Amino acid sequence: MTTAAAAPTPRRPLRDRLSALIYVVPGVGWLALFFAVPLVIVLIVSFGTKDATGHVSLAHPGLQNYLRAGRPEYVPAFLNSLRYAGITTILSILIGYPIAYWISRYGGRRKILLLILVMLPFWTSYLIRTYAWMIILRDNGVLNGILQSVGLISDPIPFLNTDFSVILGMTYGFLPFAILPLYVSIDRMDDNLVQAARDLYASGRQAFLHVTLPITMPGIVAAALLTFIPAIGDYVTPDLLGGAQTTTIAKVVQVVFQSGRDWPYGSALGFLLMVLTLVGTFAALRTLRRETLGGG
């Protein structure tokens, strides 16, 4: 970045600035029109009401939709979203870190192939992978079938439509997102640092906790963000693996929009979800800054 910025181009500064516009304006304009403007409209609509014909009315703007979203019956949906996304994030890092470390350190010449294998599920459809878990976890599914045929259980265990199945499905779905940034940060780390710590009589555990972990913290934070953000906005897994009784805020938004057609209320819920995501994101980035300053 510095080379590009510092490279002197004194001859054609105006021309370069003009060509910057040509490069950047179409994309920025597109995102402004189809990303930023719609978000502002969502915010405006969230203060409106639904009129008799079902259309959005801004005649009596107010906070009614937000007050409605804060009612006690919606609290579980918000808490579920945070809980599912939070646990999924933690599990993805706990499962993703060892395998990323293993590929980086033991992968040898097969590193790239192993990475491709890890990413293969990511390139196949998320929906299809979630569906695969339905086949496995159903009462008469693969897992219960195996457990019954070896005689461990006599009646099927209801795996599906539980917190367990939702968190399992989400962790499975977003694990590849966690592994990639973890791998990059572990692979980039200088092995000699760990060696130096060991030479100074640090145990393997101490070397990991005081050297490897702080150095790879940026990868951990990136993995957390890449898992948390899609997880908190996901309604597919809670719907397919959680069943009708599992509510998350994204599921409520989806139902409000696709059956209720109450756009102002749905917008308020969506906006709250967005705020929740941004708070999570900034909390993660703050952790990163503290860890890198304090740990280094």
* Residues 43-82 contacting other proteins, CB under 8 A: 45, 56
Q: Is 36 in the site for other proteins (CB under 8 A)?
A: yes
The correct pick among 87, 90, 132, 255 for binding other proteins (CB under 8 A) is 132
Q: Is 101 in the site for other proteins (CB under 8 A)?
A: yes
Q: In this structure, what DSSP letter does residue 56 have?
A: E
Q: How far apart are the first and last CA of the chain?
A: 24
Separation CA 236–CA 115 (nearest Å): 26
Q: Please report, for residues 30, 133, 227, 237, the alpha-carbon distance to residue 168 in angstroms, rounded to integers and kept in the order given.
A: 37, 9, 13, 9
The correct pick among 116, 153, 196, 209 for binding other proteins (CB under 8 A) is 116
The correct pick among 170, 178, 222, 273 for binding other proteins (CB under 8 A) is 273
Q: Which of residues 239-258 bind other proteins (CB under 8 A)?
A: 239-240, 250, 253-254, 257-258
Q: Is 283 in the site for other proteins (CB under 8 A)?
A: no
The correct pick among 82, 87, 134, 184 for binding other proteins (CB under 8 A) is 134
The correct pick among 63, 67, 79, 120 for binding other proteins (CB under 8 A) is 120
Name the minimum Å distance from CB 98 to other proteins.
5
**Distance between alpha carbon 4 and the CA centroid of its chain, in Å?**
32
- What secondary structure does DSSP assign to 7-40, as a single string? S---S-HHHHHHHHHHHHHHHHHHHIIIIIHHHH
The correct pick among 52, 123, 155, 205 for binding other proteins (CB under 8 A) is 123
Interhelix angle 163-188/126-137, rounded to 10 degrees, is 130
Name the minimum Å distance from CB 102 to other proteins.
4
**Distance between alpha carbon 140 and the CA centroid of its chain, in Å?**
31
Q: What angle do CA 117, 122, 128 make, to 5 degrees?
A: 115
Q: Is 274 in the site for other proteins (CB under 8 A)?
A: yes
Query: Given CA atoms 181, 183, 186, 187 in this order, what sign does their dihedral have?
Result: negative
Contacts of 16 (CB under 8 A, 6+ apart): 9
Name the minimum Å distance from CB 124 to other proteins.
5
**Which range touches other proteins (CB under 8 A), out of 65-73, 147-155, 235-243, 287-295?**
235-243
The correct pick among 218, 230, 291, 292 for binding other proteins (CB under 8 A) is 230
Name the minimum Å distance from CB 293 to other proteins.
22
Q: Is 196 in the site for other proteins (CB under 8 A)?
A: no
